[in-house]
Amino acid sequence: MVFAGEHADTARPAAPGDDRPLAGVRIAMLNFREPQQTTAGGAEEYAWQVSRFLLSQGASVVFVTGRQRGQRRAEVREGIGLRRMGNPFLVYLLVPLWLLFHRRQFHAVIDTMNGIPFFSPVVVSRRTHVLCLVHHVHDRQFAAFLPRWLAVLGCFVEGPVARLLYRRCVTITVSESSRQELIGKLRWLGPITIVPNGCVVPERVPPVEAPGEPAIVYTGRLVGHKRIERVVDLAGELGVAVHIIGRGPERERLARRIERGGLGDRVRLHGFVPEARKVALLGAARLNVTASEFEGWGLTVMEAAALGVPTVAYDVAGLRDSVRDGVTGWLVRDGERLVDVVGRALEELASPCRRAEVAEACRAWAREFTWARTGANITELIVTKLQDGGGASK
């Protein structure tokens, strides 16, 4: 861990060829949330898995994040130091202040921009290297969830402010779609490197009794822009069983929709479930369905693919990268309805031969993405920056 009074410039990264290339390197991972929080999603999984890999390469890692009620302000988990501070708004003030007071203690900072950056190039030492991590552009998300004046401010910070602030920093994003949006929508100035999400392939899938056949599943956060009500409605439109796995602020609204539609015998809101149970439910499904408006990549798409389960999703940024249309799933194009594409997919999958073909394609696709590969790519970026010298721009 990092101690007061230490200076990052007094340490030296491992020599080339060392099997722990980040030995002696201290890294701060800045992220809006952390995986144990109730609203955590794919971005938190990405940040945590990368932190674990960096630790395995010899680095010491401090994960600096927001704090939910009841959580400890500081702890060590899996060898990673957690520092929690602030609610969803104060976190963007408190994290930069914390980093300012510890600015000489880190060789590198990974600054995750969840719409709003942590302004780390302004507060760290000139010798500290900043990598900006952007999963996707948040412009429409600001408009959907914030008052107009605050949405305009959010778009200004995400666009003109951030592109100037991080113009000399390496930017990491997770898909070609996100890279194109950074360039097209934000007119990003800094160099962009694509480092996709990884995926964990379970060794075995425990058996599960799924009510109704065929069954479809949604797994992820229950938030507005995921448009989960469209997945719920498929139960009545197609006569299929629907499993909704996850937690979030939309749960009560979804429960009321299920009750009003008389879908209680077909739709089950599981809430948060242990990983083994989630894997069992997902692996037993005929089809994974997401109606999300936008994603950086679609981590749950790959989790389903690893189990041989294809996905139907809208042809939107991120999801068009993680779903190979007609191979590992189906994309809903402009002018098409979700219910029609899901219906066609279920018809195709009714054939055991076609289902086996798609399942094998899904598993092969998922095997191309591992957290070890994700971590190794980011490790290489950090090592390169350390060898090049320089640091954060001011």
Q: Which two tokens stand for residue 367?
A: 């095997």
Residues 114/135, Cβ–Cβ less than 8 Å: yes
Assess whether pLDDT exceeds 90 at residue 136.
Answer: no
Tokens 């060392």 belong to residue: 18
Tokens 């408006």 belong to residue: 293
pLDDT in the model for residue 17:
56
Mean local confidence (pLDDT), 204-223: 72
Q: For residue range 358-369, what is the model confidence (pLDDT) as tens digits?
A: 999 999 999 999
pLDDT in the model for residue 1:
43
Sheet containing strand 74-77, strands side by side: 74-77, 80-84, 60-65, 26-30, 108-112, 129-134, 170-173, 192-194
Q: How confident is the model at residue 18 (pLDDT cuts 50, 70, 90)?
A: low
Residue-range domain boundaries for the chain: 8-198+371-388, 215-367
pLDDT in the model for residue 155:
85
Q: Which two tokens stand for residue 227?
A: 């448009």
Between helices 338-349 and 228-238, what is the axis angle to 10°? Answer: 60
Q: Does domain 215-367 have CATH number 3.30.300.30?
A: no
pLDDT in the model for residue 211:
45
CATH topology identical between 8-198+371-388 and 215-367: yes
Q: How confident is the model at residue 213 (pLDDT cuts 50, 70, 90)?
A: low
Mean local confidence (pLDDT), 214-234: 90
Q: For residue range 69-85, what is the model confidence (pLDDT) as tens digits?
A: 999 999 999 999 999 99
* Domain 8-198+371-388 fold: Rossmann fold (3.40.50)
Q: Tell me, what amino acid is at 10? A: T
The model's pTM: 0.86
Q: For residue range 242-292, what is the model confidence (pLDDT) as tens digits?
A: 999 998 889 999 999 999 999 999 999 999 888 888 888 998 899 999 998
Assess whether pLDDT exceeds 70 at residue 4.
Answer: no
Q: Tell me, what amino acid is at 379? A: T
Q: What is the mean pLDDT of the chain?
A: 89
pLDDT in the model for residue 11:
45
Q: How confident is the model at residue 224 (pLDDT cuts 50, 70, 90)?
A: confident
pLDDT in the model for residue 267:
94
Q: How confident is the model at residue 137 (pLDDT cuts 50, 70, 90)?
A: confident
Residues 165/117, Cβ–Cβ less than 8 Å: yes
pLDDT in the model for residue 66:
95
- For residue 296, the SS3 value is coil
Sheet containing strand 241-245, strands side by side: 267-271, 241-245, 215-219, 287-289, 311-314, 329-332
Residues 26/105, Cβ–Cβ less than 8 Å: yes
Q: For residue range 155-204, what is the model confidence (pLDDT) as tens digits?
A: 899 889 999 999 999 999 999 999 999 999 999 999 999 999 998 777 66
Tokens 């299920």 belong to residue: 258
pLDDT in the model for residue 38:
81
Give the percent of the chain with pLDDT over 90.
69
